[in-house]
Amino acid sequence: MENDFPAAALARQFPLLVARPELAYLDSAATSQLHESVIERIVRFYREDNATVHRSSCPMGSEATVAYAAARKFVAQYVNAADATEIVFVRSTTEAINLVANSWGRTILRPGDEVLLTAMEHHSNILPWQDIAKRQGAGLRLCAITAAGEIDRDDFLQKLTERTKMVAIGHVSNVLGTVNPLDELIPQARRVGAAIFVDGAQRVASGPIDVQRLGCDFYALSGHKAFAPMGIGVLYGRCPWLKTLPPYQLGGGMVDRVSMDCSTFREPPEKWEAGTPNVAGALALRSALEFLRSIDWKSYDHHCASIRSRMDDAVRSLPGVRILGSPEKKTAIFSFVSDRVHAHDLATALSTKGICVRAGHHCAQPLHAAYGVPASCRASFSLYNAEEDCDRLIDGIRWALDYF
């Protein structure tokens, strides 16, 4: 398959990959490497601009406040939110899910209500819902997936009832790479009046995001999955929710008036950002999204398809090895198992050859249970991985199988 995506040229924009040319870094679903513009932004902030926002009266303080607001506006435009006040800076996708599960759940969920998840969710998109459902006397339902690793649409429709108050669903599976058909599922969830939370942790580095077109109520992402640092993430929330739901955390920066018997809170987004925020992280995330804005996603889709056909063909020739799932629409994430060699042994052997993959359940135990395996080995390709990385992986697996 012909493909002219400039993966090798992009790799040269990532200092870690330049510093370690011996590596085939295939673990971007765990954390991606930082783009050079991101590192430069962080260094510049701490060397020249360090100040907190909304508080400091020194020149850097007002500059940081302006830059922080501009970063928020940039994120809003990037995900096509209707307004920058719908963008809350959080620590990560995990924090965003906990925020919504707690604040929304406490306010809306009642005994007999249900939250609908899917069997391919990351633990971060299961545990907060499980906890709040239990506390509110509500039920938790899990939509099945097919052997191909797609959402079982019949099961989804069957479990979606007027009791369903929330559908929380991943945009892209961190194990299978499945791109879920949100254009189809969200309108169905809307029809029963459910709110929709989308876990976009694995989407942000693999395709564009348009929250208004999706029609979701909430959307979460993590900077470190998209070439920005750890410790910064985004929660998009539709304006009526962010205005009316109670704050998740309380503290400085989010209050309007405080007295000892009653306090009032600021309007969104400040209402949702108690304490000193990660200013450098927000600015760095903006730099990462500026880089992502330059990506030709159509061309990247072809690149992923090319890697996929190379992987599929090669794995077919490896005895006893299979890739979990074969969804129609997927990114370049491949989780595979050998019927002879344990995933951890395989990953350890590959790492001796400089091939970085991850082994384990990848925080998706219900998904692994659905496939009847406790663990898998995951190779996750990103924008900076070329076909050669795929060939190295395959040669590495072949070598490891012979070795054990």
| Of positions 202, 331, 380, 385, contacts ligand PMP by CB under 6 A | 202
Is residue 85 part of the contact set for ligand PMP (CB under 6 A)? no
Catalytic residue among 239, 304, 356, 363: 363
DSSP state of 82: S
Q: Which is nearer to ligand PMP, 118 or 222 (CB)?
A: 222
Tokens 């998209």 locate to 226
**Which residue among 72, 122, 141, 330 contacts ligand PMP (CB under 6 A)?**
122
Annotated catalytic, 363?
A: yes
Q: How far is the CB of 120 from ligand PMP (least distance, A)?
A: 9
Alpha carbon distance 96, 208 (integer Å): 20
Secondary element (H or E) of residue 208: none
260: exposed, middle or buried (C-beta count within 10 Å: 0-12, 13-18, 19+)? Answer: exposed
Rounded Cα distance between 297 and 370, Å, is 31
Cis peptide before 269 (omega within 30 of 0): yes
174 sits near ligand PMP (criterion: CB under 6 A)? yes
Of 132 and 349, the one with the shorter C-beta distance to ligand PMP is 132
> Rounded CA gap, 231 and 64, in Å?
18
Q: Which stretch binds ligand PMP (CB under 6 A): 55-63, 120-128, 296-304, 342-350?
A: 120-128
**How distant, in Å, are the alpha carbons of 65, 169, 256 from that of 51?**
9, 37, 22
Looking only at the bridges linking them, the beta strands covering 218-222 and 233-237 are: antiparallel
Q: Is 222 in the site for ligand PMP (CB under 6 A)?
A: yes
| Residue 268 structure tokens | 């969104």
Q: Does 92 bind ligand PMP (CB under 6 A)?
A: yes
Which residue, 175 or 341, has its beta carbon nearer to ligand PMP?
175
Between 124 and 287, whose beta carbon lies closer to ligand PMP?
Answer: 124
Piece of 72-80, 101-109, 117-125, 374-382 that binds ligand PMP (CB under 6 A): 117-125
Using the rule CB under 6 A, is 201 a contact of ligand PMP?
A: yes
In the complex, the residues that contact ligand PMP under the rule CB under 6 A are: 92-94, 122, 124-125, 170, 174, 199, 201-202, 222, 224, 363
